[in-house]
Structure formats: structure tokens, C-alpha cells
Structure 1
């Protein structure tokens, strides 16, 4: 790089390539090792082992006439340098210099695309900050846009499990050991692949040593409450906004490149990130797809179908890149810009707008812990809930998948957990009801403390009594106020700033209004089933638990304080 930092790269060309042949290039920039080295005894089987995390993507692109280039971003893998913070300006500008290098190669036809999952997905999107004319199309997959509400502080509540786990993973990788590797890590039989000219790994050792200065995301997050807080020990980072594409959205949009956003309904909070990205960026050739997938799209997750994803991600990407980098008529330009999957109905659908046309279905919290369409008539009605701090969403959740952990049995029957929560359930449905978009809730409540964390779960109760998770939302009471500010991006939900100036401690015993959206979904509640709203005060498995004794909540459901759930109902009546 111009500042002298050396980056480790792997370049792959199709086996049929011959001098004089030129082709487009796919650039993959990762901080999770571009390739792995297998030492004895695994080295005897290395040909059958994956070289990199995106190996199956690379093979398909190579077979379809692309060059593929994988890069360890600075401060990671076998690359030199250290990371002041994720996607710092110098890391972003590296991408532009790499594209310049690609264009000088004898196999390059001057057309470059980029893709990646999670961190490398953000790297693909941020490549556009350089506004390099050779970069025609990118596919940020399962990655964030506005990181504070999507992954680090959903609802303003620190997702401590994620930031702590992600720091452990990156610390291990940056020191050339496998995270959670057990005896494998101790034996050092798997590590990052050194560059070819470093057979004795001398350069690799020096590169690994330089990573010791890398930033500590969990440590920094512990010093943050509001989105405009400066991390106490990292004054290079202005605030958390500087970590995500939202910070650069205008520059990204001016690049003119087409952007294809991939995400899943169980992809942490990233399905909302993909929606925000798609609504904000203005290129008419941009695409959005939301499937019934986990983070990375490996698993199909629905109460009605669970198993390996039944979708050809690479084939869909080839349609996109073939059109933009090879000028092939793949038909993708004739399709609707948005495709999404409705769980329960188990059907793919297409739309030109998000959310699609819906009618609000309002369900009120009612006596006998019911949800009903009729509005409240009582003047002083409320339900008392002593927060159970043992409540959680378990080890196979939408949040666990963010670090690549498999979720083979996600959200098993929620009946046992619901016994710890305050739940409101509808009568059996007289017809199928599809909800697609962003459910929301308004809760009027008082608490015995000066702050509270509120979690709500939208659930489907079968006629046999099985309780299936649909989606969830959360809000910290401190962040309950809206200040009327316009969102810095296009978003289908009301904008909440999460800034220090808008914070407001709760007053014990005083009724406060918490209005917030649940994470978007598309789900069919079937005739005979019941809709449930479950309310918790903690998620012990994932989120910060506020200090102090567990609070007691009073949830009001009176004429004056009509707490309610609002569902985006898609009507199929003609």
C-alpha cells in the first residue's frame, strides 16, 4: 500500500485460462483469514479441505470465467499493520489501490465486482467509497448498514454476548489461532496461510506481531451508552456510526455501482440493515433479497421447514454479476427489485416497494391476558410483572448465528420460557393472516427503577399448544423519546436517535410510553392458530442486564393507556 503496509492476497484464475485471455475479477476482502494453512497431520488431506471461507463461491465463479482475488485486510490474517478500528479510512482506501493493481494484470478486462458475507460484505459495500470507475457491482451479503441499532445496541441495549464473542474470535484469528479451537488451536495444526514467498513464515510472524495493537470492540462498547458517545479509550474512532456504511452512504450512492443486498429473516438485525440500504441507495438496478435464512444463508429456518438452505446463492449472484460485468442478458434486469420469502406459506414473492401494501391490524392488550381487536374501555386496568432474570432466548438464536454458530434447533417450543414472561394471546384465528413488514408495539408502563429493558416476542401458538417464535423487538427505557429528527437514511419505521441529548431516565412509578418496532418479518399465521405477544424484562443469553434488583413492571391496558400490538397485515381478499 502507499503507506508501506503489505497485504497478503491470493489470486485464482480459471484452470482454462491462457495468456491473452481477459476476464472480470471478483474481489473478496476479509478479516477472517483469506486462506487456511494445514499442518501435519491435516496437511495430508489439504486438497480435500476448504482453503477459505468463501471457497465454494470462488469455485463457481472461476468455473464461470471470473478471476477471484481474496485479501487479508490490513491488521488481519497474514497482512501487516494494525487496526485502529474496523473499516477505518486507510482500510477502505486499500480497496481502491487493490483495484488499481487488478487493472494492471494481464488477465483483467477492466471490470471488477466485489462480494462478501458479514464483515467482508461491508468491505464490498465500502469499496464503493473509493468511487473507482472499474467497480461496477457489489453484493454486501448478511452485513450491516447502521451498526448501533442493528447489531451492537438493538433498541439501545448492548448486545454484550455478540461484542464479547466477536472480540474473542477476532483476537484468536489475529494471533493465528482458531477461535474455540480447543486442542486443534493448541496444536497449531491450522493457521492462516502465509504468502508464497514466505515458506519459513518469517514474514507471517512479523505480521502477527503487528496485530497486537488491534482495537478491542467489546472493551470499547462497554464505554458506550448513546450512539454519539466517543469510546473512552479509542479517540481515533469518532463514534460507533463511523464503523458502518451509513457513515458513507452519500459517497457510496454516487459511485453509480449496482448493489445487491442479501439477508435472511433470522440474520440477527441485518434484514433491517439490508432494507435500509436498499431504500437509501438510489441506483434503479439495485436488488434486495430476504430469505428464511440465518447469518450467511446456510440454514433454512421456518417452523414449517428447517434444514440446509434450499437456494442457490451463487447462482443468483452469477446472474447479477454476469449482467453487470459481462453484459450478458441474464434476465435479472427484468425482475422486480425485491424478493422475499413468507414463512408458514413457504412461498417466494416479489415486490417493487418495501414494505408491500399492508393494512394495520391492531390488537389490544386486554383482560385475562388476551389480545383482542376491541379497544380498552376500563379506566385503571393494568397487569403487574416482576421481571424474571432467568428468561432468555437460548443458545440457538438469531443473535448466535451472527458469529457463524450453527442453529440446528432455533427457538424450540417457547412454552417453557413464556411461563417466565407476561403473555397476551388472541383467540383462534378464523382465517389465515399474513404479516409482512415491520410489526410495532406501544406499551404504557411504569417501573420501580429509573431504567428498564423491555423485550417483546411475537409468537404463533398452534391448536396443539406449541409456541413458535416469529420475531422480536426491544427498547431500553432511557432511549424511549422521539425528538422529531429526520432519519439520515430512508427507513420504513419512525427514527429514534439514541443520542445523549435525547436520553431520559424513567421516573419510578410514573407511566411512560414505549413505542417501538419489532424486527421485520414475513409470516403466515394459519387459521385456528393464535397470535401471542410475550413481554420480558431481560434476555439473559444475549443482552446487557442493568445493575440493581430486578424491577417490577406495571403494564397498562386501559382506555387512557391502551397498550397494543400493530401487525402489517397483507390482505389476499379480492
Structure 2
């Protein structure tokens, strides 16, 4: 990362100011702006998050907010109501009140003497989501947005459910918010009210995991913050950004296809990170791209920001399987529109363990192939959303394929490049009312190594609708469509393409209520792969440069962390456990003399092939210390299930610390039984 120390405009920082909502609630903001903005007003750019500007995102904020401000903007970071140093309680994600507050913030920004009345909004993950949500509400001063690692549909493409299957990332994200929502504001910002505000949060935020598991179908709960319900509500330009290692790329294709506004899509090799921090690399000079975007849409500068292809994607080269990469080899490619008329679907027919080219005259006698996968299939699947902070990418798929139906092409005679979303259309039957299919595509090297390049999940009861699932009738044949995640991948000549089908993908997806054998009928089942022909114009694409940022905040590492993924098998008891430790140690933020400790551990386990033995456990510790102010929060959450219900238990403990030890100031526990509804 190249650090930029001098900008065209000298930047001043307002550590905190409060923006008062119509009901008297104060939202805490940190602002970077040119020193002369009061005499020469500038546009404002808003990032609006629940992740504590004072400490949690302070390091990341220090990289990009001063950079944007130095190029002539007021860059504003606001804590959502009930988080960080803002008043109130946050009771769930993406509530209407969150969006309404954002509209008030945007109106307030536009009226400030240092703002020229033009406002943009940007963010990654939660901030990418609410940028889309707020754009759909059309606040008058909002001129454009940048949405990174986000989705247009909270149910279809989010860390809660995939293809109607419950994801383990649902538990992971609930754990993040459980501890985050339980932290107090900073007394240096809010004064002596901090204990009262803390108590209100501890008592009022609730157990989000229970709410998310309650809503197992695509109902109004998910629709309320899904812009896919009506894309036409968005009437401002959109830059949509993501990475192939992340879980949030499919929405980019849908936004490009369905929005009717100026729009750009950018997909790199990255995990759940901004592209200037992107891992796997190569990271890019994304902050320069954001400034060009804002210069064009907020300042009206004709700088070519909309030149070039609508979609720009990193075409990944073949690589050996590895749970972590520093960089993914490949090259940038572009398409002028999406869907692209240049891309054709290549169809394969599933035959007896092979993928054969399909032509209209192809006649293949249907053959039933049955599979009941062991619960070990999925152990090499990695995380749904990779943060690339631990080795959380999929490993060699040969570990999985012994428990799957495998269909494979002959070695490729020529290179083949795939761009888009493959689709499996299959004729299947099951012997239980609820069953699932995991479909994986792998790049098979001549030496046999199998690198997963994409996958999809399908709860077969959702074959017609995720809003109104229907139980399967054992012995009845159904047609299912499984849309796999989008990808850009080159398969070299001599490599093979493999489709693997399994009835388990734990722990990425929670197992069905009981073991279910699924029969796939070859001959009646097809795989459609979007194949992209070469394009000479790709070689002329503008170089996106190497990453640049403002200077990082001053920090000291007081205690080192630990990161690992460790799988253990106890042969005596038949248990298999995946332990994921993400201990970030203790960091001193020198600007505020605040020490922050973060630690989280997850365990996913099962016994033999008993689907009712599946269990997910999380523990977190968060500590914040400065002088006499020392607090600690601990959480413990366990998810298990029977064939009829999910069982969710949780514990929350909050402490004040001093030299004599710890004093618990709050404790609460939950024990919830949630009926399974065809999940």
C-alpha cells in the first residue's frame, strides 16, 4: 500500500459531532473535510455503519476518509442508532428506522455551510446494503452511491440462507452483532450517560440469531430491505463492487441487468474487503476510482468515469487448491453490457459419471443414480463469505468427491473461459419430504488436483418458490434448477470440468432434518455454463493501479493474536470438529490511548452421520480499556437441532474491570426452540 501524505486540500478532522434526528435521538459522526470547506463548500460522502467509529473501524477509516476529503469532499462516518457513540438501541439489521435516519442525515449534511448540497453514499457489507436501501428511498440530496460486498435480496444472496438452506454464517454474523450491540459508548464522547446507555443496549438489543432462524422462508421480513422487489426505486448512479472469494457477487449481475440508471460493476479476486485492501490480490487503487466516481457524479466533472465496459471482472487463471492465496493469477476483462450478447451458454448432458456436450439430437437414456452423502462432505468447503483473515477458502475437492456423484468432461481441447452463473437443471427424486443438493464445479488439473471454482445449494422443497416451499413426495420425480454462484474462470487445455453433487455440505449449510437419499436421473439433467469468447479490447483496459491510501492510524500491538482452522476426528466417539479461532489480540489506539481486545472462536461438530448431532458453538470476548474506564463483554451461543426444531441457547455477560478484578454488571441467557419449516 502506497501512503499519500499530501493532498490538494489540507484536511481537518472533527473527532465527533452529533446529528439530531426528528425524535431527539443523536447520531454520532466523525468528519474529515478540507480546512477551507466553510469558505469553499464541497460535496459530502457518507459511510453509515453499526461498527463503532471510535475503535472498531477506526484503522480502516483512517485509510480512506482522509484520502477522499483531501480530494475535496467532506467524508462523514456515522454510527447507526444504537451503536458506537449514537443514542438508542439497535434491535435488528436494516430496519426502516435505520433507513429513515440515513435520509435525515443526508438532508442535514446537504444543509451544512461546508457542504455544497450534493451527497454521495458508500460502504462495504452493511454499508453497501444500506447504500442501496437509502438510494431506493430517494432522498433529494443523494446523487450517487458505491455499494461493495452487498446484495439486492436479503434472503436469496446473504449469509442467512442460500437456495433455501440455512447457512452457518448466519450463526457467525449473529455472533458478531451479539457482542457488538452489547458494547457501551465511549465516556469521552457521551459523558456520564455511558452507563445508562450501555444498560439500555444490553437489555434491549435481543438475540438476533433467533429472529433470523424464525424466518426460514422468503417472507416480508426479508423483502422489506430487498431492493430486488422494485429496482426502479433506485434513480441514482450505482457502482457495485465485489470479489470472487466473497459471497456477494451474484447481486452485481442482477443490479447491472435490472437497474435503469448509469451503473458500473467491478468484480476482483478479493474476499470480503474493500478492493484497495483486497485479499487475495491483486488489490487495486480503488480509492482513486471512488474519487473519479464522486468527481463525475457529485462535482459534474467530465473525467471519463463512465467510459469503458459496464462490467469489469478479474478472469482467474487455473491454480492449485489452497485455503488461502496471497494473489490469484489472471487478467481484467470487460463486457459493455450485462447480460452480454457475446456470452453463449454451453450445455452438457449428465450421463453415467460424465459430462457430454449436448446437442439437440442428443439422445441419452435416463439412468437413476442415487446418493446419500456422509456429513463429512462440506468439510473442505471453506466459509460462505471469505474474509481471507484465516485459511477460509475451499481446499482440494478430492476430499469431498468420494461422498458425491461426480460427472466430468473429457480433457479440454482448447482453453475455455467462463463468465457468469452456471445453472444445473436436473430431474431428481428423494426418499424424504426434505432434502438438499450441493452442486460444485471444479477445475481438474492433469495431476488430479481439484480446485472448486463455484457452487450452489438447493433445498429441494424450494424448487418452485422460497416464499412457499412444498414438501417432497417420496418417489416422485421433480425438475429442479440450481443456479451456481457467478464466476470468471479460465480452464486451460488439458484440464477437465467436474460437477459434483452431494446431499450434505456441512458446516457451510445446516443438514436437513433427517438423512435423505436423492436420485438424479442422467440423460434428463443438464449443466449450462456461460462461455465467454476472447475479446481483443481487454488488452486495452485502463490499468487500475496499485493501492494508495492516507496514512494509517498510529497503533501498537500489545498482545499478538492467533488464527487457525483445525479439524479433529475422535475415532473413539465418532465425532468430527472444526475449530475456527480468530483472536485479534490487543491493540492500542494511540490517538485515544484506548486498548481494544477482540477474540472469537467457532466450533462446528457432528457425530458419525447423525444429522441431529450437528452443532455450532461460538464464544466471543471484547474488552475496551482506557485509564479507569475498563469494560468487557462475553457471549456464548450454541445452535443444534432435532428433526423437528432448532435449539438456540445463548449467554451474555458484561463486566466493569478494575485492579481488583471484574464486576459483572449484566447477565442474560436465552433458550429458544424454533420449529423447522421444511429446512
TM-score w.r.t. length of structure 1: 0.82
Q: Secondary structure at the match of 1:551?
A: coil
Aligned partner (choices 174, 183, 197) of residue 207 of structure 1: 197
1:366 equivalent in alignment to 2:351: yes
Aligned partner (choices 258, 267, 272) of residue 246 of structure 2: 267
Q: Structure 1 residue 299: deviation in Å?
A: 9.2
State the distance in 1 between where 2:308 and 2:178 align. 43
State the distance in 1 between where 2:139 and 2:519 align. 56
After alignment, is 79-88 or 23-32 more displaced? 79-88
- 2:494 aligns with 528
- 2:228 aligns with 246
1:426 equivalent in alignment to 2:409: yes
Task: Verify the 8 A CA contact 1:299 1:307 in the aligned structure 2.
Answer: no
Task: Verify the 8 A CA contact 2:32 2:66 in the aligned structure 1.
Answer: no
Question: Residues 89 and 378 of structure 1: is their aligned pair in 2 closer, same or farther, counting only changes over 3 Å?
Answer: closer
Task: Verify the 8 A CA contact 2:372 2:502 in the aligned structure 1.
Answer: no
Aligned partner (choices 496, 504, 509) of residue 538 of structure 1: 504
Question: Residues 300 and 478 of structure 1: is their aligned pair in 2 closer, same or farther, counting only changes over 3 Å?
Answer: farther
- 2:112 aligns with 105
Aligned partner (choices 299, 313, 326) of residue 299 of structure 2: 326
- 2:485 aligns with 519
State the distance in 2 between where 1:366 and 1:384 align. 13
Q: Secondary structure at the match of 1:148?
A: coil
Task: Verify the 8 A CA contact 2:245 2:269 in the aligned structure 1.
Answer: yes
Q: Structure 1 residue 78: deviation in Å?
A: 1.8
Task: Verify the 8 A CA contact 2:381 2:395 in the aligned structure 1.
Answer: no
Q: Secondary structure at the match of 1:36?
A: coil
Question: Residues 194 and 440 of structure 1: is their aligned pair in 2 closer, same or farther, counting only changes over 3 Å?
Answer: farther
- 1:117 aligns with 124
Task: Verify the 8 A CA contact 1:77 1:208 in the aligned structure 2.
Answer: no
1:109-258 equivalences in 2 (<5 Å): 109-151=116-158, 152-159=160-167, 161-176=168-183, 193=186, 196=189, 198=190, 201-211=191-201, 212-228=203-219, 238-247=220-229, 249-253=231-235, 257-258=236-237
Unmatched 5+ stretches in structure 1:
38-49, 177-190, 229-237, 482-496
Alignment root-mean-square deviation, CA: 2.4
TM-score w.r.t. length of structure 2: 0.69
Question: Residues 427 and 296 of structure 1: is their aligned pair in 2 closer, same or farther, counting only changes over 3 Å?
Answer: same
State the distance in 1 between where 2:522 and 2:404 align. 17
1:59 equivalent in alignment to 2:66: yes
Task: Verify the 8 A CA contact 1:292 1:300 in the aligned structure 2.
Answer: no
1:480 equivalent in alignment to 2:463: yes
Q: Structure 1 residue 147: deviation in Å?
A: 1.0
State the distance in 1 between where 2:471 and 2:218 align. 16
Task: Verify the 8 A CA contact 1:155 1:475 in the aligned structure 2.
Answer: yes
Question: Residues 247 and 383 of structure 1: is their aligned pair in 2 closer, same or farther, counting only changes over 3 Å?
Answer: closer
Q: Structure 1 residue 74: deviation in Å?
A: 0.8
User: 1:270-318: CA deviations, max 9, x gaps?
Assistant: 21112222322211x22111122212245999xxxx7443212211111
Question: Residues 350 and 133 of structure 1: is their aligned pair in 2 closer, same or farther, counting only changes over 3 Å?
Answer: same
- 1:184 aligns with none
Task: Verify the 8 A CA contact 1:423 1:532 in the aligned structure 2.
Answer: yes
User: 1:326-367: CA deviations, max 9, x gaps?
Assistant: 222321132222212211181212222223222221122222
Looking at both structures, which has the greater relative contact order when contacts are Cα pairs under 8 Å and sequence separation is at least 6?
1
Aligned partner (choices 288, 293, 297) of residue 270 of structure 2: 293
Unmatched 5+ stretches in structure 2:
1-20, 318-328, 537-679
User: 1:211-249: CA deviations, max 9, x gaps?
Assistant: 232253321122223212xxxxxxxxx421113333564
Q: Secondary structure at the match of 2:58?
A: coil
Task: Verify the 8 A CA contact 1:9 1:195 in the aligned structure 2.
Answer: no
1:555 equivalent in alignment to 2:523: no
| Bigger strand fraction | 2
Q: Structure 1 residue 408: deviation in Å?
A: 4.2
- 1:382 aligns with 368
- 1:17 aligns with 36
Task: Verify the 8 A CA contact 1:36 1:192 in the aligned structure 2.
Answer: no
User: 1:240-261: CA deviations, max 9, x gaps?
Assistant: 11133335643333xxx21111
Q: Secondary structure at the match of 2:156?
A: helix
User: 1:16-35: CA deviations, max 9, x gaps?
Assistant: 43651321111110011122
State the distance in 2 between where 1:437 and 1:220 align. 33
Q: Secondary structure at the match of 1:557?
A: strand
- 1:5 aligns with 25
- 2:446 aligns with 463
State the distance in 2 between where 1:333 and 1:468 align. 35
Task: Verify the 8 A CA contact 1:157 1:475 in the aligned structure 2.
Answer: yes
State the distance in 1 between where 2:276 and 2:438 align. 25
State the distance in 2 between where 1:380 and 1:259 align. 46
State the distance in 1 between where 2:107 and 2:463 align. 47
Task: Verify the 8 A CA contact 1:425 1:532 in the aligned structure 2.
Answer: yes
- 1:187 aligns with none
State the distance in 2 between where 1:521 and 1:571 align. 15
